[in-house]
Amino acid sequence: MSEQTLQLPKHQPVWNHQRTAWSILIFAISIALFKGVLPAGFVRLPDGLVIPFADGINAAFAFLRDDLGLIHVTRAFADMVEWLLNVTGNLLYGKNRWPRIGPIPWTVIASIGFVVGYALQGWRLSLLTGGTFVWIAVMGQWKWAMETLSVIVVAAPFSILFGLVMGVLAWKSRRVEAVMNPVLNIAQSLPHFAYMIPVVVFIGVGPKAGAIVTIIFSVPPMIRMSLLGLRKVPEEVIESGHMCGATRWQLLRHVRIPTARTEILVGVNQVIMQCLAMVVLASFIGMPGLGQKLLQLLQSLKIGRSAEIGITIVLLAVVLDRCTKAWATKQPAHFEKGTPYVVRNKFLLIGVVSAVLFLALAQVFPILDQIGRRQAFTISKPIDAIADWIIVLIDPITQWLRWFLITWVLIPIRDGVLWLPYISVLALLAALGWAIGGLRSAAICLAFFGLIALSGWWDRAMITVYTVMVSVVIAACIGFPLGIWGSFTPRRSSAALLICDTLQTFPSFIYLIPVVMLFGVNDVAVVGAVVLFAAVPLVRYTIEGLRQVPETLIEAADMSGATQMQTLWHVRLPMALPTIMVGVNQSTMFSLFMVIIAAFIGTQDLGQEMQRALSSTDVGKGLVLGLAVAFMGLMVDHLTTTWAHRKKQALGLI
Amino acid sequence: MSASSPVISCRNVWKLFGANSKSYLKTLSGNPSFEEIRAAGHIAAVRDVSLDIAQGEMLVIMGLSGSGKSTFVRCLSRLIDITGGEVRVEGQNIGQMSEKELINLRRNKMGMVFQSFGLLPHRTVLDNIAFPLEMRGQDKHACRARALEVIELVGLSGREDYFPRELSGGQQQRVGIARSLAIEPDIWFLDEPFSALDPLIRREMQDEFLRLQAILGKTIVFITHDFDEALRLADRIAIMKDGVVEQCDTPAQIVLNPATEYVAKFTAEIEKSRVVQAQVLAKPITEASAEGRPIDGSQTIHSLARMLVNDTRDFLPVAAQGGVVSGILNRQDALDVLLGADT
């Protein structure tokens, strides 16, 4: 963008924007005020106007499935996946299928964990990785954890391969990329459940459906990262490949992909984390493993036992994340000349030797082979005791909080949102869009929410909107101060960032455990879980934004005699605002995902309907609901990124 | 192909960046300026360049950043397709080569060294250098043996197993040079090979480069933005500005007779006596006569300074290689060059 287009809109057009935005806002308010005298069609979309998207989608799916015979293709693919799942199932937890040699003794897997951790980063990762497997075995959760891992082991390679191939295709052809980009945008804002319904229709329920939904769900980040990596390969490296006489294939295989290694491995990391998140949730479609156990225990309010499973899931998440990140950042290093084979391949040898050793020992001592339910430890009793003690101790506070939130915050806001005529809401959003990004943004807001209105799920959607709104506001009230506090010293901020990073690796399901423990099963628990989940990105990006402010600006403020508070208000925060908006954006996305997941502890919003669609395998309804959620997310995404972009331009940051 | 015909020959080479630049180029007539072309929405990187590069010659292309020199060298190796004109390498028009022929040409005839090295980060020094050989499909053992030979040549012995990021900038460029030499190319392109290096290392690498060229005797196209470097290395220098070659001549001629004002600006600060050799100033024997001991024609005036000042003869005989007198030097001319006298 040239200087002129940058400078000019500052005065006149912005003023015009504001004026248009204000007049739309006044229109919205007057519609709301005169609600009583307006025809019913202004308050809620008349039934006749609702477009039966769901029927259309169902018809399309029926056509794909039965008339085009896509079901045979998917079944064939599912059979292949099932065969692989049987193999990994046999190896990891002794499923009675070919090759019938499993299960591998837990000590063998744990010892390999120790060696892999050490090879990737050193002692700490070694203890974390190996220790996690020891914990799982000792706590008697081996079978469930292996059921979960056996799916990841099958799903992740498929996702990585698909993602890489699609990434290469998108990189090769601008046209493919142009089609793929919006699809990926929508795919990444669809809630988890929206993926499950079509899979149930095509594949059915059970482990193979769980594996396939995991594959589909975790592909998008891999596509994004491979594309990014391939684009980032320096031009000179490619030219050097050309000059070495590489053919196109050789160039891709030997030059581009290896040079994009780091980005591709970051993609692998994201795929594995997404796999874990999905595999836990896939318990809703009959996937056995840790997720299913957690779901059962949580529904029967067994806090201690569910906390144990929660710890296992968290440990697995952290281990998988740290190991793949260590792999991504690990740079090759040379060995001195004449280093013997044994030293060059010491990790491989140690791994093999210890595996063989424990395999032999396990034949002699059964405890090293498998730990039965009876021999396992449990810490559920003390956890229960502590939880009970805490609950009793803070009961007055939680009771009061619950009462306060429900009567003074949640119910009034919910009633208010539901009371608003849909025309008002649409006009409000248009005004907001106009104020932020002019006609284009207003049109985008109107289109997204207009479609939600046309789908006929307005009231449900408004309940979702209200939950997300309340949660994000509460999360902001907690997250901003925490973030500001965390940004004051470098040590504090690096510690806080580490905690936030770790918290972000947890599958969303985990956040339900503490809130169910504290608040029981109700609206407050839902809001609580969403707040917890949504506060993390806010803290994180607040810290990052504040830390990124150039040192010279702060020095300039200091030399102007600003106090720490003045520097914060007038220098740091304004400069950090665009980054903080990224946090708000992510926070809203996370809230939307969490609200939908929290449906199973009792909500009346889109999530609950989605659960119903899942149990009745209604693809049309499920996808319409999922898209409604995605549209909300995409609208917020559009508004925050547009706003942050303009702000950055105004600050001269881009 | 006769021995005297040029290795690389460019005729009216144009490179425009922009949409539909080929059809735009056809509408051009005369010699439009850089600004006129830009006003039409195109960037002229190379404008109407015609050059011949002879067997074993080192042509240095000199210009400031944005002058089109890097684009031009990429036109010669067809890393970039040219918009107009033709480039012939050993008589073959490379613009009309199929992908396969082009790959064959690069696998057997051309080597290129890049400013930021362009090394593959996941391969060791040895594997980087063996890469072009591997691309040709040579067997592993032969690749390794040849790579070790070139490693020895560029003085990197003992570092075969290092990865690029474990090496200093100078060492990385040695790897780049070794890789470009692995296939024993006839034509060697170097795109600002030493610009990313510290001044001391740069000097060392230039010496190294001259040593290699003395052994190998390749046809070289060398790109630089450093005029001193150009003077140091070149048989001929082509000075580029806004995509046009302003002058292409020997260093001495460029210093003595700059063709344009732009070239003159470059040469203004240069001490001419360090560039000009006695034989350049020498007149044919027929015009005057001289006696006494002849001077070595390949010496620069600067290195003959003491003798020129002390000698009393007005005309000095100049000997070419082998001691045969080939010309007569007017002592006054030489002193003018030495003292920078304005005439």
**pLDDT at residue A15, as a whole number:** 55
Q: Phi and psi dihedrals of B85, rounded to 5?
A: 90, -170
ipTM over 0.90: no
Instruction: Write out the two tokens for A442.
Output: 């207003």
Q: Confidence band (pLDDT; 50, 70, 90) for B341? A: low
Any CB–CB contact under 8 A between B251 and chain A? no
Residues of A in contact with B175 (CB under 8 A): none
Q: Which two tokens stand for residue A323?
A: 């190991």
Q: Which residues in chain B are contacts of A247 at CB distance < 8 A?
A: 99, 103, 135
pLDDT band at B1, cuts 50/70/90?
Answer: very low
Q: Any chain A CB within 8 A of the CB of B137? A: no
Residue A390 phi/psi, 5-degree rounding, is -60, -45
Res. A136 pLDDT band, cuts 50 70 90: very high
Write the residue in A239, A245, A334 that is nearest to B107 by C-beta: A245
The per-residue pLDDT for range A174-198, each reduced to its tens digit, is 999 999 999 999 998 888 888 998 8
Residue B322, pLDDT above cutoff 80 = no
Q: Tell me how many helices (H) and strands (E) chain A has.
A: 31, 0
CA–CA distances in Å: residue A487 to residues A144, A550, A578, B246, B335 = 40, 14, 16, 57, 71
Q: Is the pLDDT of residue A250 over 80?
A: yes
DSSP E strand boundaries for A64-200:
none
Please compute the mean of the pLDDT values over residues A485-493 and round it to a whole number.
90
Alpha-carbon gap, residue A434 to A642, rounded angstroms: 11
**Mean pLDDT of the region A67-91:** 91
The CA-based angle A181-A183-A187, given to 5 degrees, is: 115
How far apart, in whole angstroms, are the C-alpha atoms of residue A631 and residue A647? 24
How large is the average pLDDT for residues B284-305? 81
pLDDT in tens, A192-210: 888 998 888 888 888 899 9
- pLDDT for B2: 46
Cβ <8 Å between B114 and A236: yes
Domains of chain A, first to last: 68-103+142-289 (1.10.3720.10), 395-427+456-640+644-651 (1.10.3720.10)
Query: Could you tell me which residues come within 8 angstroms of residue A488 by beta carbon, excluding any fewer than 6 positions away?
Result: none
Q: Taking CB atoms and an 8 Å cutoff, what residues of chain B touch A255? A: 120
pLDDT in tens, A8-60: 444 445 556 788 888 888 888 888 888 888 888 878 888 888 888 889 998 99
The candidate with the shortest Cα–Cα distance to A272, out of A210, A203, A323, is A323
> Is the Cβ pair A245, B136 closer than 8 Å?
yes
- Assess contact for B259 and B241: CB atoms under 8 A: no
Q: Convert the pLDDT of each residue in B116-131 to its tens digit.
A: 999 999 999 999 999 9
Question: How far is A331 from chain B, CA to nearest CA, in Å?
Answer: 8
Residue A234 pLDDT class (50, 70, 90 cuts): very high
Name the residue among B79, B106, B161 with its Cβ closest to that of A335: B161
Among the residue ranges A226-235, A522-531, B86-95, the one predicted with the least confidence is A522-531
Is residue B94 within 8 A of residue B102, CB to CB? The reply is: yes
CATH of domain B273-339: 3.10.580.10
Q: What is the pLDDT of residues A353-397, one digit of tens each?
A: 999 999 999 888 888 888 877 778 888 888 888 888 888 888 888
**Inter-chain touch B118–A234, beta carbons under 8 Å:** yes
Do B120 and B128 form a contact (C-beta atoms < 8 A)? Answer: yes
Contact B161 A243 (CB under 8 A): no
* Range of lowest pLDDT (A150-154, B174-178, B266-270): B266-270
Cβ-Cβ contacts under 8 Å between A and B: the total is 83
Residue A4 above 80 pLDDT?
no
Kindly tell me if the per-residue pLDDT of A212 is higher than 90: yes
pLDDT band at A298; cut points 50, 70, 90: confident
For residue A249, the chain B residue with the least C-alpha distance is: B135
> What does the pLDDT read at residue A171?
93
Q: Searching chain B, which residue's CA lies closest to the CA of residue A336?
A: B161
Judge: A334–B121 Cβ closer than 8 Å, yes or no: no
* pLDDT > 80? residue B288: no
Note the maximum CA span of chain A: 91
pLDDT at B307: 86
Q: How far is CA B18 from CA A74, A252, B25, B76, in A?
A: 46, 27, 11, 20
Q: Does B128 touch chain A (CB under 8 A)?
A: no
Most confident of A471-475, A524-528, B196-200: A471-475
- Using the Cβ of B322 and the Cβ atoms of chain A, whether some distance falls under 8 Å is answered with no
Chain B residues closer than 8 Å to A236 by CB: 114-118
Considering only CB atoms, B77 lies closest to which of A234, A243, A335, namely A243
Its pTM stands at 0.88
- Which one of B74, B132, B161 has the shortest CB-CB distance to A244? B132
Boundaries of every domain in chain B: 273-339
Q: Which residues of A fall below an 8 Å CB-CB distance to B?
A: 234, 236-237, 239-240, 242-247, 250, 254-255, 258-259, 261, 331-335, 337
